[in-house]
Amino acid sequence: MKISFLIHNAYGIGGTIATTFNLAHALAERHEVEIVSVLRHRERPNFTLDPKVSLRPLVDLRQEKEHPLHLRPARVFPRAEYRYRQYSELTDQRIGECLATIDADVVIGTRPGLNVHLALQTPRHVGRIGQEHLTLDNHPPRLRNALRRAYRRLDVLTTVTEADAAAYRRKMRLPGVRVEALPNSVPDPVLPAADGTAKVVVAAGRLVPVKRYDLLIQAFAVVAAERPDWQLRIYGKGEEHDRLRQLIVDLRLWNNVFLMGAAAPMEAEWVKGSIGAAASNFEPFGMTIVEAMRCGLPVVSTDCPYGPGEIIEDGVDGRLVPVGDRDALGAALLDLVRDDDRRRRMGRAALENARRFAPGPVVEQAERLLAEAVTARQAGRPAAQERARAGRVLVSQGFAARDAAFGAASGALRIVRKGQR
């Protein structure tokens, strides 16, 4: 089977890129796999790409940033999508040409706007799988309206958690589309697991507001006050870097908290720690949580929607605390710092429990979904023959009507604001 992934920018850094590379590498053991990157801004990807996986960009921003068509707004990529301003008539054109001539058996989109492209422009005989790495509730009403129309042309829609899959089935009404949770996978570690003796807490991810590294630093101040020999190491880059550095200075934590920059792969850094930490307000999955657990670290995380609660078993392989609660986060970290035996025991449990996110079981499920999409296209029938219950239809119609009303209201507000300028 030939499989093509369509991704925003394979040359960047982030959870969607990491999990796409991981899945592509695993599938390449038995299939022909390529990654099509809409954008390119540097010579080589940040993440290591398996030689068996081909990579081709569509728009190289190093030469084409000022291309006349790239200065015009996109028409296919949905306006309400978060990345809309990075898309253009040029990306519309290149994506359309790519999909029209694609020789893959199945194409996998990796974000809502790209899922719309493949739903509308992929040839009829090619299987269409849309991946959602965010959550339905995180999408604005105008985007949900656009997705309702386009996603009906998909064969399969995958989410990263069971909770989000249930939300799509309940709220979106996508007859004939198989909606299934497909968790992100993390490769089997190659280094020995952490032994719980290092006096280091490790966190990783983009330095952006939603990740709440400010909260984590404030919470760690409690740890540093009692155990000044412990460190917090934060890996990643992003817009919050300077603000976080100033916070470290203000709290006089320069000997305890370190902004380490980006590291890829992270495995060598995880195993240097004894506890993983995540303080997000919102986490659709929690790739770094799984990475830490696969390296033998118990993880202290906020119990935000939706991922952490489906990954961490509270009190067994990590701790879950309320979102935004600095004191609870600090107390949970300090509990593990104080108790060596418990920390090591939970680290061993994390290593064992995280095996369900190994490539093997995830790839097996992915292959089944890919095969179903291809078979359905070849047979000219939907991947999932669904006869929805009347109650479910009414519920989904209610959500659709609500989103349409919000969308109309926000559109009217924009017109009023534009007229006031």
* pLDDT beyond 50 at 249: yes
Q: Confidence class of residue 173 from pLDDT cuts 50, 70 and 90?
A: confident
Q: In this predicted model, what pLDDT tens digit does every residue of 269-309 receive, in sequence order?
A: 999 999 999 999 999 899 999 999 999 999 999 999 889 99
Instruction: Please give the pLDDT value at position 410.
Output: 52
pTM of the model: 0.82
Q: What DSSP assignment string belongs to 5-63?
A: EEES-TTS-SHHHHHHHHHHHHHTTTSEEEEEEEEE-SSS-SS---TTEEEEEEEEHHH
Instruction: Please give the pLDDT value at position 306.
Output: 87
- Which residue would you say has higher pLDDT here, 7 or 184? 7
Average pLDDT, rounded, for the chain: 91
Query: Contact 363/371 with Cβ under 8 angstroms?
Result: no
- d(CA 241, CA 239) in angstroms, rounded, equals 6
Instruction: Please give the pLDDT value at position 265.
Output: 83
How deeply is 146 buried, as exposed, middle or buried, from its count of CB atoms within 10 A (0-12, 13-18, 19+)? buried
Q: Which two tokens stand for residue 84?
A: 């809309």
Q: How many separate helices (H) and strands (E) can be counted in the chain?
A: 15, 13
Query: Contact 81/46 with Cβ under 8 angstroms?
Result: no
Helix pair angle (213-226, 326-338), 10° resolution? 40
Q: In this predicted model, what pLDDT tens digit does every residue of 355-413 receive, in sequence order?
A: 999 989 899 999 999 999 999 888 876 665 444 444 455 455 566 666 665 555 555 44
Q: In this predicted model, what pLDDT tens digit does every residue of 30-48 receive, in sequence order?
A: 999 999 999 999 999 988 9
Instruction: Please give the pLDDT value at position 119.
Output: 96
Instruction: Please give the pLDDT value at position 397.
Output: 56
CA dihedral for 165, 168, 171, 174, sign (positive or negative): negative
Instruction: Please give the pLDDT value at position 331.
Output: 98
The mean pLDDT of 333-361, rounded to a whole number, is 96
* pLDDT beyond 70 at 325: yes
Q: How many CB atoms lie within 10 A of CB 6?
A: 28
Instruction: Please give the pLDDT value at position 405.
Output: 56
Instruction: Please give the pLDDT value at position 273.
Output: 98
**Distance between the two ends of the chain, CA-based, in angstroms?**
54
Instruction: Please give the pLDDT value at position 386.
Output: 42
